[in-house]
Amino acid sequence: MSTLKLDLAERSYPIYIDSKLLADNNLLSQHIRAKRVCIVTNTTVAPLYLATVKQQLVDFQVDEVILADGEAEKNLSNFDKIMSHLLANTHGRDTTLIALGGGVIGDITGFAAACYQRGVDFIQIPTTLLSQVDSSVGGKTAVNHPLGKNMIGAFYQPKAVVIDIDSLHTLPAREFSAGMAEVIKYGILGDREFFVWLEQNLAQIKSAQPNVLIEMIERCCQCKADIVSADETEAGVRALLNLGHTFGHAIEAEQGYGNWLHGEAVATGMVLAAKLAVAMNLLEVSELRRIEHLLAAFDLPLEAPSDMGFEQFIKHMRRDKKNIGGKLRLIIPTVIGHAVMRDDISEDMLQQIL
């Protein structure tokens, strides 16, 4: 088993990566300090993995909240559903929540844990590639609002992250590809060697070779852990992890949450960010083409929705959380392996790209 550590002093926690972890009888219990546990999952994941996880917890009093599946379910109504369940079942401050599912479940469960009785423990068990390499690590928790994605949330760290690569066997191909957008993001923003490794291991990744998947996920988690350890609340370098997200979140909000998967929107967002960098003479066209080629290899979209122009993008981008003093702040690549934040990009320049 590969074990990484996200170092945040007294709030540090382990990230476990291997196969067959969901059936490990000793892994979860060491991170639960009392006998009450609530598992939050969804209608897709519950039939696949809920019973297996509950078998680990036979010595605990366990109940569950099962939400509908999809990005549209990451909302205040379901947040209230979790809160009402915890209150109705007299969960105390020593309760542990377990997020069993993808990024939607991880985000909403983490936010519920941050808020219930001013904070209870929670554990992440991500079951999608996107959540394994990105959203389960780092303590960003949130729900969506019709006017913006992840606008209501908190920074709140889990007690542990348990990544069982076997859960990827039941993941639809489209969801796997969406996760690869976040994987590729790490190479573009800060690790050219990893980007090259991805280019060289396309076949092994697509055939889900276990050792290759473990190495890929481990490298992503290590990159994110290093960045979060240096900048937990996104005051500086952590903002680079939002490469492609300002454009991507606009697509998700405009198209309706779930119509474009998060990774699909981020893939297109990264292409738009790279095209902007080319227009600013900060990125070589050859680098843009390599980015497009690798994204396309996983069937990810490279073009914005045909019904979205400048006005549709900018109304959402003006609400982006990175903006300060009314200035747009965008992450753009300057070379594969390095990205920067810029706040000098005019709306006129964006209009040319969009």
Residue 27 — pLDDT band, cuts 50, 70, 90?
Answer: very high
Same domain, 336 and 198: yes
| Residue 104 pLDDT | 97
Same domain, 196 and 325: yes
Q: Is the pLDDT of residue 281 over 90?
A: yes
Same domain, 345 and 213: yes
DSSP code of 121? E
Q: Choose one of 148, 169, 190: the last residue of a domain.
A: 169
Strand, coil or helix: 312: helix
Q: Which domain does 53 fall in, by range?
A: 2-169
- Maximal CA-CA distance, the chain: 61
Total domains present in the chain: 2
d(CA 105, CA 6): 21
Q: Is the pLDDT of residue 93 over 90?
A: yes
| Residue 59 pLDDT | 93
Question: Per residue in 297-346, pLDDT tens?
Answer: 999 999 999 999 999 999 999 988 888 777 889 999 999 999 999 999 98
Residue 1 — pLDDT band, cuts 50, 70, 90?
Answer: confident
Question: Per residue in 261-280, pLDDT tens?
Answer: 999 999 999 999 999 999 99
The residue that leads in pLDDT, 45 or 343, is 45
Bridge-based pairing state of the strands 330-335 and 338-342 = antiparallel
| Residue 298 pLDDT | 98
Catalytic residue annotation: 118, 140, 182, 224, 234, 238, 242, 245, 249, 262
Q: Choose one of 151, 169, 187: the last residue of a domain.
A: 169
Q: Is the pLDDT of residue 220 over 90?
A: yes
Q: What percent of the chain has pLDDT over 70?
A: 100
Residues 6+ positions from 91 with CB-CB distance below 8 Å: 36, 38, 116, 120
Q: Choose one of 129, 153, 169: the last residue of a domain.
A: 169
Same domain, 8 and 117: yes
Same domain, 228 and 335: yes
Same domain, 136 and 227: no
| Residue 326 pLDDT | 79
Segment 112-139 mean pLDDT: 97
Same domain, 141 and 192: no
Cross-strand pairs, 341: 331
Residue 41 — pLDDT band, cuts 50, 70, 90?
Answer: very high
Same domain, 233 and 205: yes
Same domain, 344 and 262: yes
Same domain, 144 and 193: no
The 10 Å CB-count burial string (b at 16+, else e) for 11-25 is eebbbbbbbebbeee
